[in-house]
Structure 1
Amino acid sequence: MTEFVLPPALEPGDDVAIVAPGTSLATVYPDVYELGLDCLESVFGLNPVEFPTATKSPEWLDDHPEARAKDVMDAFADPDIAGVIAVIGGADQVRILPHLDADVLRENPTRFYGTSDNTNLQMALWNEEIVSFYGGCLFTEFAMQGSMHEYTVEYLERTMFEDSFGELHPSERFTDEDLDWGDSDTLDEQREMEPNPGWEWRGGSTVDADETVTGRTWGGCLAIVDQQLSVNRYLPLAEELDRAVLLLETSEELPSEFDVRWTLMGMGERGLLSRFSAVLVGRAKARAVEDQRPPEERTAYRERQRDAITDLVAEYNPDAPVVFDLDFGHTAPVAPIPVGGKATVDPTEERITFEY
């Protein structure tokens, strides 16, 4: 297994860069943005340093992918910056990749935190053998209305201040409710939570499928994985994914089971899906601001997604265990899962641990 670099741990009092590799909503929802900055200071004792893109408008950022890339490189290269945090995701971060200098990233490994569209940058870091963390966007984790989730705080502290992640456990409760960022009265509200039934283990159809597997994690948001497959310029060599552990989760776009099947079928036909030793799937977000659904429809939606993934993995990689409803992605709370870290998946004991 190729050795990756784990960037140095942060310490309380360190400077952390706030950047917008994708987009920023700081000008649209300034109160939410400030809440995120405040939590970085009050909860974690870190000093947020706002890089130029952090407070640019979405329209400006859309026109300047090279500036977004420059902020990322400047943050990594700055010796006073201990960590880099994305404001939020976006929809076109792939456009910054041609402007990145891989040498700058490789020579200045820094812990990076982001989700969704930030899968693009995390894949670029993976190619340079640098561990990053799928979780910890300013808007979606630090600026959680009411207060940050204790579960998220616990795992963020591990990934920020420690050199060992350890065992992952399911959260006790979860939510995929959205509160209106445009209504400042919601900043003190708690989202509606529901009991977490825990992980669901599937896959592994052979006699030896109950054996523990360990592999480097690769992947992230399914929409970005699909985009990377289409672009086909930034994917690792296929053999570099041998025995890796695939990470997948779906976004607030609420893709259908057909969309999920489409992407996984493409991975299967390219000979990629069969290379992974296990598949870890984040809990699917099942409602959005403009698409509210009753609980029974949300349950059915998640089951259709599980079935789609189960079917395609069984077709192309029947030995691989598949674990659903992990706490990463577009629901809350989340644990920042290491991308490029070592995941150990034990189907017999139903345990998952991460190291580096």
Structure 2
Amino acid sequence: MPPQFTTPPPLEPGSRIAVVAPSRPIDESRRNRACQRLRETFGLEPVIFETARRDWEWLRDNSRARAEDIVDAFEDPSIDGVIAVTGGDDQIRVLKHLDPERLTANPTRFYGFSDNDNLRLFLWNHGIVSYGATLHPTLILDPEIHPYTERYLRRAFFDDALGVVEPAPEWTDRWFDFDTGEPREWYENPGRTWHGDERVSGTLWGGCFSIVKWHLQTDRYLPTPDELDGAILALETSEDVPLPREVGYTLRSMGERGLLQRFDGLVMGRPQTYSPELEWEPPADYGEQLREAVLSVLSEYNPEATAVFDVEFGHADPSVPLPLGAKATLDPTAEEIHVE
């Protein structure tokens, strides 16, 4: 069975929220832009911790200090929440320096995704629910924060649960041009795709596909197989845009390890298919290919699982800060996702 989870107390208007950099930093102007939105849109007071003021070279060479900043923020009695400035590609190096006893003694709402899913999976192992949002990109893109993102981020800040995760009316994976500030191109939401007909409930585990893959490879921070019994696997593929077959290979390996069979359900985020640094051009039907690759593996190792694809979480926008460790219910008949 999964561990017993604590959902840290919600924030309130006027709460102080620590700004930390467990992964990479962002420049001061973007940090200030995001902090301004925390104040003006949500009524929160950001507190800039040491790592959020440092450059990448310093952060790269001081993984222990990054861990200490996280723990210090959790232990600070004046702090009600902790938010990461952005993602990155090395946070797994930070985990060995964390003191789980200090974190569990001071459960605090943590917000982060992408590389920060390393920390979120660590918190999952110790029974602390955490949320998928960062300063950049969640709070900083577009001339105004998207109403859908704002609605669910507000719930993640101030409510005990996200409730029903409704489909967004539109979506995009285009890059925002900070130099011009021009609005991005948005597309009509084609809807979600459901597989299976059983209503299932379970604890959310997973996050960014790349990070889950690292944890499978290192095998240092995985739950025991029994702890995943009845859980809901949540995956999103980030701006890495992995080949669909690579996602299938990883899920197949989970099946061979006896892990994939443990989950009662699967939630796949709508894939991002554009990045200026991408070394290949994804096909127009990338999402369909990804879904087919995933369903092919599920049909062999976990055919009874209920799955839903193109959900609003991850790197495409708008996004829901899906909380790892929270209980989710997938209802294919009502085509509804509910997160407690």
8 A Cα contact 1:142 1:148, kept in partner: yes
Cross-structure match for 1:140: 137
SS at match of 1:215: strand
Structure 1 residue 179, shift from structure 2 partner: 2.2
Cross-structure match for 1:281: 268
Structure 1 residue 62, shift from structure 2 partner: 0.9
Among 249, 253, 271, the alignment partner of 1:266 is: 253
Q: Which whole-Å CA distance do the structure 1 matches of 2:338 and 2:72 have between them?
A: 33
Among 120, 123, 128, the alignment partner of 1:122 is: 120
Q: Which whole-Å CA distance do the structure 1 matches of 2:139 and 2:277 have between them?
A: 23
Instruction: Point out the more displaced range, 93-102 or 136-145.
Output: 136-145
Structure 1 residue 14, shift from structure 2 partner: 0.7
Cross-structure match for 1:351: 336
Look up the equivalent residue of 2:4 and give its one-letter code. Answer: E
Aligned length: 339
Structure 1 residue 158, shift from structure 2 partner: 0.8
Gapped regions of structure 1 (runs ≥ 5): 205-209
- Match status 1:25 vs 2:26: yes
Among 201, 205, 210, the alignment partner of 1:223 is: 210
Cross-structure match for 1:244: 231
Look up the equivalent residue of 1:195 and give its one-letter code. Answer: E
Cross-structure match for 2:222: 235
Structure 1 residue 101, shift from structure 2 partner: 0.2
Look up the equivalent residue of 2:318 and give its one-letter code. Answer: P
Superposition map of 1:35-46 within 5 A: 35-46=33-44
Among 180, 191, 197, the alignment partner of 2:190 is: 197
Structure 1 residue 266, shift from structure 2 partner: 1.5
Q: Which whole-Å CA distance do the structure 1 matches of 2:292 and 2:219 have between them?
A: 27
- Match status 1:58 vs 2:56: yes
Gapped regions of structure 2 (runs ≥ 5): none
TM-score of the two chains, using structure 1 as the length reference: 0.92
Q: Does the C-alpha gap of structure 1 residues 87 and 10 become closer, same or farther in structure 2, counting only changes over 3 Å?
A: same
Q: Which whole-Å CA distance do the structure 2 matches of 1:132 and 1:238 have between them?
A: 21
Cross-structure match for 1:310: 295
- Match status 1:13 vs 2:10: no
Cα-Cα RMSD: 1.5
Q: Which whole-Å CA distance do the structure 2 matches of 1:59 and 1:293 have between them?
A: 29
Q: Which whole-Å CA distance do the structure 1 matches of 2:161 and 2:278 have between them?
A: 39
Cross-structure match for 2:326: 341
8 A Cα contact 1:201 1:324, kept in partner: yes
8 A Cα contact 1:147 1:190, kept in partner: no
Identical aligned residues as a percent: 47
Q: Which whole-Å CA distance do the structure 2 matches of 1:16 and 1:347 have between them?
A: 37
8 A Cα contact 1:287 1:293, kept in partner: no
8 A Cα contact 2:156 2:321, kept in partner: yes
Q: Which whole-Å CA distance do the structure 2 matches of 1:137 and 1:235 have between them?
A: 24
Q: Which whole-Å CA distance do the structure 1 matches of 2:231 and 2:87 have between them?
A: 25
Structure 1 residue 58, shift from structure 2 partner: 1.3
Cross-structure match for 1:207: none
